[in-house]
Amino acid sequence: MATNHRQAVDPFASRSRDPLAAMRDRWVMCVVLAIALAAAGFGLSTTHQTQITAEARLAVGSNSLQAYQVAGFAVASEALAANYARFVSGSPATSKALEDSLHGRTEEIVSISASPIPDSNVVRIEATATDSEVALAAAGAVAKSLVERVNAGSAEKPGELLDEHQQLSSAVVRQQSKVDRLIGRRGVANLEGRPTDEIEAVLAQAKARLATLQLRQTATGVAYQQTFTQPTVENGLREIQPAAISGDDERQTQQLYTASGLLVGLLLGLVLSNLLEGGARRRELKRLSSSTGEESEPINRSRHDTGSTAEPSRSE
């Protein structure tokens, strides 16, 4: 006897394996969610404290053609720039310079950094803060502190050497007068027949002091002359760009928050679309199952009646 079997066909079977199919069917909902959450992200970005960056630039050595004619100057200046940039991060001198210039507003500073510009002898000083004035003051103070520290080991300036030479010259004149007085006292003591041992000891000390002052005076004079005859030192730092505002993170923050909201909206649309698709599929399967059951009930009843009618014929 042939049997009639019916199977419930799942109309969503072809789409259940593709999560994006449900999203395409409900694209309006997904677009609305994406736009709404992108707008929410943009609104949230307005609550973010804008961080402002100020920048100052320093250069190693002078900018003269004579310096660049020295073999290896370009490579050496790049190496010095990278080395000087390391003086900034975590340095106690940097912290002191910031405290002296900001007067208690150091908590507004977000970051301080220094980095060499590739293939150049330029050092970039960057200060990021929540206030533009603080950022400018911090960048300027750090740049000034770095210049002073680096140039402290360079050759003295001609003006300073000249002042020191003048002071030593005055000291030599005074010491020479003291020596002359002691020589006079010794001569008088010899004429009077008095002992001169004490005077001789003081005179020896005065002459030694005079010789030291004269040596320092000569060395300072030579150093002063060499500042005009020898090449200048090219390992110092000089400021080539004062501190100036270089940018802020307002636009970047807006883009980040908006893109994040858009992405979350799309992901939420994908999840909700598949949840709704799954619910619709389960309801459709339930409906098909119930309709199949209703159709099979009369068939089973007729089979039962046919079987009960055939039994008496067999008994006969």
pLDDT at 48 over 90: no
pLDDT at 291: 74
Nearest to 278 by CA among 12, 32, 24, 18: 12
pLDDT digits (tens, 9 = 90+) for 176-234: 999 999 998 888 888 888 888 888 899 899 999 999 999 998 988 888 777 766 555 55
Per the CB < 8 A criterion, the answer to whether 178 and 205 are in contact is no
H helix intervals, the chain:
13-16, 19-25, 27-45, 65-68, 73-85, 92-102, 132-151, 158-192, 197-229, 250-315
For the segment 5-11, the average pLDDT, to the nearest whole number, is 48
Nearest to 243 by CA among 161, 124, 148: 124
pLDDT at 2: 43
Per the CB < 8 A criterion, the answer to whether 50 and 250 are in contact is yes
pLDDT digits (tens, 9 = 90+) for 224-277: 777 766 555 556 778 888 888 888 777 888 889 899 999 998 899 888 888 888
pLDDT at 311 over 60: no
pLDDT digits (tens, 9 = 90+) for 95-138: 888 888 888 888 888 889 888 888 888 889 999 998 889 999 99
Per the CB < 8 A criterion, the answer to whether 129 and 109 are in contact is yes
For tokens 């079997």, what's the residue?
Answer: 5
pLDDT at 15: 46
In sequence order, the 6+-apart residues with CB closer than 8 A to the CB of 270 are: 19, 20, 23, 30
List b or e across 76-88, with b for residues whose CB sees 16 or more CB atoms inside 10 angstroms. bbbebbbebbebb
In sequence order, the 6+-apart residues with CB closer than 8 A to the CB of 202 are: 182
pLDDT at 130: 87
Please give the residue that has the higher pLDDT: either 65 or 90.
90
pLDDT at 4: 46
pLDDT at 316: 42
pLDDT at 239: 86
Please give the residue that has the higher pLDDT: either 165 or 302.
165
List b or e across 181-203, with b for residues whose CB sees 16 or more CB atoms inside 10 angstroms. ebeebbeebeeeeeeeeebeeeb
Pick from 32-46, 90-104, 153-167: least confident? 153-167
Measured distance CA(275)–CA(263) in Å, rounded: 18
CA dihedral over 126, 128, 132, 138, signed as positive or negative: negative
Measured distance CA(292)–CA(6) in Å, rounded: 7
Per the CB < 8 A criterion, the answer to whether 208 and 232 are in contact is no
Under the banding of pLDDT at 50, 70 and 90, the label for residue 303 is low
Average pLDDT, whole number, for the chain?
79
Q: What is the rounded end-to-end Cα distance, in angstroms, of the chain? A: 23
Own/partner pairs, 46-50, CB within 8 angstroms, 24+ separation: 48/253, 48/257, 49/130, 50/130, 50/248, 50/249, 50/250, 50/253
SS3 55: strand
SS3 57: strand
